Amino acid sequence: MQPTLTVAAEDGRPVAPAAPPAEAALVLRGLTVSYGESAAVFSVDATFPAGAMSAIVGPNGAGKSTLLKAALGVVPRVSGEVTVFGTPLASARDRIAYVPQRASVDWDFPTRVRDVVEMGLYREAGLFGRLSGARARRVAQCLDRVGMADFADRQIGQLSGGQQQRVFLARALAQEAELYLLDEPFAGVDAATERAIVEVLAALRSEGRSIVAVHHDLATVRDYFDHVLLLNVRRVAEGPVATAFTAETLEAAYGGRLSTSHVGEILPAGGRA
């Protein structure tokens, strides 16, 4: 299958089809990742559907970030397979955009906001290489989409946490990817930024793109996501949120770390199927 990046709108801006591909966005088969003796992710099977918003949920140290990095190929797998839109990861890397956990980025690095977003265009040198005006317009469009158009010339380190997260989302938008992998996109951001990011992700989904996000806030899983993987080194549960995100699966993933009243808040009104 041809990447949809080859399709371009009038202004040279590549567009993705409104209908998601028939193949699952991301399939993991027997994925095991280890940093040393013990496995951080052990024998995980998961199928994240195309054109949907999927969450990866689990306690601290459950291997959520590791699983995303293995899905990107930036940490090596001990064993297992990663398939992206039905093709091996190696031939699908340019269909994936990644937004790392904000805490993992060195924000003292002196870079302007527009330069961070422009990094997202690196794959499209052929399309934009000599068209610096077109590049600048694309950067401005992506910043506008996340409400950061007025910050293009600011140093990234001078922004608030929420603003930095929006800029990283703008960089991912510039990539025009089909699969967006985000690591805790709402961690440490203000409520307005959270709403803005949710809106952008919902718009991506309505364009037929696929989103897989590590998510730490159990209270919003049902509102934001279609599909969920509960992870605690191993797969605890996976499927549509309505069936996979229950009191039983939360208990299995978190053990004694969630109180009964906490689960009641997360799964109100009959959610405890």
Gap between the Cα atoms of 273 and 257, Å rounded: 20
Gap between the Cα atoms of 157 and 177, Å rounded: 26
Tell me the closest approach of the beta carbon of residue 228 to ligand ADP, in angstroms.
Answer: 14
Gap between the Cα atoms of 158 and 207, Å rounded: 33
| CA proximity to 95, closest of 151, 200, 196, 23 | 23
Would you tell me which residues interact with Mg ion (CB under 5 A)?
64-65
Tell me the closest approach of the beta carbon of residue 183 to Mg ion, in angstroms.
Answer: 6
- Binding-site partner at residue 96 among Mg ion, ligand ADP, none, CB < 5 to 8 Å by type: none
Long-range interactions of 247-254: CB distance < 8 A, separation 24+:
247/271, 247/272, 247/273, 250/218, 253/57, 253/58, 253/59, 253/62, 254/58, 254/59
- Binding-site partner at residue 61 among ligand ADP, Mg ion, none, CB < 5 to 8 Å by type: ligand ADP
Q: Are 105 and 65 in contact (CB under 8 A)?
A: no
- Binding-site partner at residue 40 among Mg ion, ligand ADP, none, CB < 5 to 8 Å by type: ligand ADP
- Binding-site partner at residue 135 among Mg ion, ligand ADP, none, CB < 5 to 8 Å by type: none
| CA proximity to 50, closest of 10, 16, 76, 8 | 16
Comparison of 35 and 108: residue with beta carbon closer to ligand ADP? 35
Q: Does 61 bind ligand ADP (CB under 6 A)?
A: yes
Comparison of 16 and 71: residue with beta carbon closer to ligand ADP? 71
Q: Choose one: 59-67, 138-146, 158-166, 241-249; the region binding ligand ADP (CB under 6 A).
A: 59-67
Position among 54, 65, 163, 164 found at the interface with ligand ADP (CB under 6 A): 65
Position among 5, 24, 44, 62 found at the interface with ligand ADP (CB under 6 A): 62
Position among 2, 9, 10, 35 found at the interface with ligand ADP (CB under 6 A): 35
| CA proximity to 68, closest of 29, 39, 26 | 26
Q: Are 178 and 4 in contact (CB under 8 A)?
A: yes
- Tell me how far the alpha carbon of residue 241 is from its chain's centroid: 17
Q: Does 232 bind ligand ADP (CB under 6 A)?
A: no
Position among 2, 9, 37, 60 found at the interface with ligand ADP (CB under 6 A): 60
Q: Which residue has the tokens 């910050």?
A: 151
Position among 4, 54, 66, 165 found at the interface with ligand ADP (CB under 6 A): 66
Residues of this chain that interact with ligand ADP (CB under 6 A) are 35, 40, 58, 60-66
